[in-house]
Structure 1
Amino acid sequence: MLQRFRYRIDTLMGRGAPALFLVLAALCCVLALLNGLMLLLFAPEDIRPRGARSSLWAGLLRVMSPALLLRDRGPAPFLGLTVVMAFSGVVLMSTIVPVISTGLHNQLARLRAGRSLVLESGHTVILGWSPQIHVVVAELVEANRGRRHACIAVLAEKDRTEMEVEIRERIATLAGTRVVCRTGSPADPQDVSLVNPQQARSVIVLPSEEKRPDLGVIKSLLAVARTRQGPDTGPYVVAGIEDHQNLAAARLAGGSRCRVISTQGFIARLMVHSSLQSGLSNVYTELLDFADHEIYMSHQPALTGLRFDDTLRAFRASAVIGLMRPDGHILMNPPGDTRIGPDDRIVLISESAATISLVPDVPELPAVSYAPVPDVAERGRSVLVLGCNQHLADIVEQFDAHLPAGSRVHVVTGEPAPIGNGSEGGLELTVQQADTTRRRVLESLLVEKYDHVMVLSPDGQDPQGADAGTLTTLLNLRDLAQDSPAPYTLVTEMADDRNRVLAQAARPDDLIVSANLLSLRLSQISENPHLDRIFDELFAPSGCQIMLRPATHYVPPWRPVTFGTVVEAVRRQGHLAIGHRLAHRVGEPPHHGIALNPDKETPLVYSPDDCIVILTSSSVIPPDHAP
Structure 2
Amino acid sequence: MVLPPEGVDRDIDVIKALLLLHSRRWTGSRPQVVAAVHDSENLAAAQLAAGGEALVIDAEDIAVRLIAQAHRQTGLSAVFNELLSFVGNEFYFHEEPALVGSTYGLALNAFDLGIPVGLRVRAGDVLVNPPMETVIGPGDQILVVAEDDLLIRLREARPAIAESAITSAPAQSPTLDRTILIGENSRTAKLVTLLDSFVQPGSTLDIAAPRQPEAIPSDALVNLTVGFKVCEPTRRSSLEALDLGGYQHIVVLSDDTVAPGPADDRTLVTLLHLRDIEESLGDPYSIVTEMNDDGNREVAQVTKADDFIVSTKVISLLLTQLTENRHLHAVFTDLFNPEGSEIYLKPASNYVIPGAEANFATVIEAARRRRETALGYRLADHDEEPPTYGIFLNPSRSAPLVFGSKDAVVVFAEGETAAVSGDGLSR
TM over 0.5: yes
Greater mean alpha carbon deviation, residues 302-311 or residues 584-593? 302-311
User: For the residues of structure 2 that align with 1:368 and 1:307, how far apart are their CA atoms?
Assistant: 25
Residue 588 (structure 1) aligned with residue 385 (structure 2): yes
Counterpart residue number, 1:520: 317
Counterpart residue number, 2:84: 288
Residue 498 (structure 1) aligned with residue 295 (structure 2): yes
Counterpart residue number, 1:344: 140
Q: TM-score, normalised by structure 2?
A: 0.92
1:148-547 matches, within 5 Å, as 204-229=1-26, 233-362=29-158, 365-368=161-164, 370-415=166-211, 417-420=213-216, 422-423=218-219, 424-547=221-344
Contact kept? 1:452, 1:490, Cα under 8 Å: yes
User: For the residues of structure 2 that align with 1:345 and 1:544, how far apart are their CA atoms?
Assistant: 18
Task: Give the CA deviation at 1:276.
Answer: 0.8
Q: Which amino acid in 2 is paired with 1:561?
A: A
User: For the residues of structure 1 that align with 2:42 and 2:3, how far apart are their CA atoms?
Assistant: 15
Task: Give the CA deviation at 1:366.
Answer: 5.0
Task: Give the CA deviation at 1:430.
Answer: 1.9
Task: Give the CA deviation at 1:371.
Answer: 3.5
Q: TM-score, normalised by structure 1?
A: 0.64
- Bigger Rg over Cα: 1
Counterpart residue number, 1:566: 363
Contact kept? 1:420, 1:430, Cα under 8 Å: no
In structure 2, relative to structure 1, the CA distance for the partners of 1:589 and 1:433 (3 Å cut) is same
Counterpart residue number, 2:421: none
In structure 2, relative to structure 1, the CA distance for the partners of 1:562 and 1:419 (3 Å cut) is same
Task: Give the CA deviation at 1:489.
Answer: 0.8
Counterpart residue number, 1:140: none
The SS at the match of 2:92 is strand
Task: Give the CA deviation at 1:453.
Answer: 0.3
User: For the residues of structure 2 that align with 1:562 and 1:356, how far apart are their CA atoms?
Assistant: 20
Contact kept? 1:420, 1:431, Cα under 8 Å: no
Task: Give the CA deviation at 1:416.
Answer: 5.2
Task: Give the CA deviation at 1:239.
Answer: 0.8
In structure 2, relative to structure 1, the CA distance for the partners of 1:421 and 1:358 (3 Å cut) is closer
In structure 2, relative to structure 1, the CA distance for the partners of 1:373 and 1:228 (3 Å cut) is farther
In structure 2, relative to structure 1, the CA distance for the partners of 1:600 and 1:417 (3 Å cut) is same
User: For the residues of structure 1 that align with 2:312 and 2:29, how far apart are their CA atoms?
Assistant: 30
User: For the residues of structure 2 that align with 1:236 and 1:269, how far apart are their CA atoms?
Assistant: 26
Task: Give the CA deviation at 1:377.
Answer: 4.4
Contact kept? 2:15, 2:46, Cα under 8 Å: yes
Q: How far does the alpha carbon of each residue in 1:494-545 deviate from its partner, in whole angstroms, 9 at most, with x for none?
A: 1111112321111101122121111111111111111122111111122201
Counterpart residue number, 1:55: none
User: For the residues of structure 1 that align with 2:53 and 2:369, how far apart are their CA atoms?
Assistant: 40
Task: Give the CA deviation at 1:432.
Answer: 3.5
Q: Which amino acid in 2 is paired with 1:334?
A: P
Counterpart residue number, 1:34: none
Contact kept? 1:570, 1:576, Cα under 8 Å: yes
Number of residue-to-residue matches in the alignment: 416
The SS at the match of 1:316 is strand
Contact kept? 2:160, 2:398, Cα under 8 Å: no
Contact kept? 2:347, 2:407, Cα under 8 Å: yes
Percent of residue pairs bearing the same amino acid type? 38
Task: Give the CA deviation at 1:295.
Answer: 0.5
In structure 2, relative to structure 1, the CA distance for the partners of 1:420 and 1:365 (3 Å cut) is closer
Contact kept? 2:35, 2:56, Cα under 8 Å: yes
Q: Which amino acid in 2 is paired with 1:460?
A: T
In structure 2, relative to structure 1, the CA distance for the partners of 1:393 and 1:500 (3 Å cut) is same
User: For the residues of structure 2 that align with 1:291 and 1:310, how far apart are their CA atoms?
Assistant: 28
User: For the residues of structure 2 that align with 1:362 and 1:507, how far apart are their CA atoms?
Assistant: 40
Counterpart residue number, 1:26: none
Q: Which amino acid in 1 is paired with 2:238?
A: V
- Structure with higher RCO (Cα < 8 A, 6+ apart): 2
Task: Give the CA deviation at 1:253.
Answer: 1.1
Residue 609 (structure 1) aligned with residue 399 (structure 2): no
Contiguous gaps of at least 5 residues in structure 1: 1-203, 619-624
1:53-92 matches, within 5 Å, as none
Q: How far does the alpha carbon of each residue in 1:85-114 deviate from its partner, in whole angstroms, 9 at most, with x for none?
A: xxxxxxxxxxxxxxxxxxxxxxxxxxxxxx
Q: Which amino acid in 1 is paired with 2:80?
A: Y
User: For the residues of structure 2 that align with 1:369 and 1:548, how far apart are their CA atoms?
Assistant: 19
User: For the residues of structure 2 that align with 1:388 and 1:306, how far apart are their CA atoms?
Assistant: 50
Q: Which amino acid in 1 is paired with 2:256?
A: D
Q: Which amino acid in 1 is paired with 2:76?
A: L
Task: Give the CA deviation at 1:420.
Answer: 4.5
Contact kept? 2:165, 2:353, Cα under 8 Å: no
User: For the residues of structure 1 that align with 2:330 and 2:66, how far apart are their CA atoms?
Assistant: 16
